Amino acid sequence: MSRPLRIASVNVNGVRAAYRKGMGEWLAPRGVDILALQEVRAETDDLAALLGEEWDVLHDPATAKGRAGVALASRRKAEIHRVTFGPDDFDSAGRWLEADYDVDGAIVTVVSTYVNSGEADTPKQVEKYKFLDAMAERLPKLAEHNPLALVVGDLNVGHRTLDIKNWKGNVKRAGFLPDERVYFDRFLGAEGEEGYNAGAGFGWVDVGRRIAGEVPGPYTWWSQRGQAFDTDTGWRIDYHLATPALAEKVVSYTVDRAAAYDERWSDHAPVVVDYQL
């Protein structure tokens, strides 16, 4: 049996800053085959130079320099699938990048995505809903394109109360608004619904919740303010959403939480999943 395919996803909060703080030391021994990045906030040449020549790098930068940006880096060449994402008046640049990878004869489709953070009752939230609408339109087509498909990244929504430590204090805040969470009910099924995370909704599977079970977290983002990291007052907003066929191939799920606050190189932790194809 060949070794599992290891796919890691992380919002780097600026890849150049992340490398200055130690991202390279995390990546070098981690054995990652496909690396999905969000909030790259750099030029393609900068990203390729940081990762090194052994990586095949795909990068979709944001329209505005220094903002957003998603990337996929792999030990193998990819075939890119660019899609029309959202309405004509919606700028999705730097937020959705698809690629097909041939893994020992099996084609795996991976998407690196960075959903808008939004802000309740502002135009930023309108843009976030436009993105989630486009995502709801794309997911069924993606599953039709390939039964082994995976959407990873910073989705900026905590689906359930288990996903946010202080959920009661955030029900009116972007990231945990009821209208946002309903989108995830469509993708995965609603909490308590028959078939939740096992065929309900669009049929996609939240790998993290399936593996972790009905427990708080494990969180993937902590505010830089106060003692949020030290007290593990976090949010689980970084996901691996898999088609059912791919979800059945998961053999390991890990959140690479830093050992201490001063050892962090991003405010997000990498989510690393092994798939035995």
- Which domains, and CATH codes, for the chain? 5-275 (3.60.10.10)
Mean pLDDT over residues 44-69, rounded? Answer: 92
Grade residue 256 by pLDDT with cuts at 50, 70 and 90: very high
Q: How many residues does the chain have?
A: 277
pLDDT in tens, 190-248: 999 999 999 999 999 999 999 999 999 999 999 988 899 999 999 999 999 999 999 99
Mean pLDDT over residues 63-74, rounded? Answer: 89
In sequence order, what DSSP letters do the residues of 168-188 get, joined into one string? GGGTTSTTS-HHHHHHHHHHH
pLDDT of 24 > 70? The answer is yes
Of 13-22, 58-67, 202-211, 259-268, the one with minimum mean pLDDT is 58-67
What local confidence, expressed as pLDDT, does residue 176 receive?
97
The pTM is what?
Answer: 0.96
Please check whether residue 179 is in contact with residue 244, taking contact to mean a CB–CB distance below 8 angstroms.
no
What span, in angstroms and rounded, lies between the C-alpha atoms of 155 and 168?
20
Q: Which amino acid is at 56?
A: D
Please check whether residue 221 is in contact with residue 238, taking contact to mean a CB–CB distance below 8 angstroms.
yes
Whole-number mean pLDDT of the chain? 95
Look-up: residue for tokens 């930068």?
61
Pair type for strands 96-103 and 205-206:
unpaired
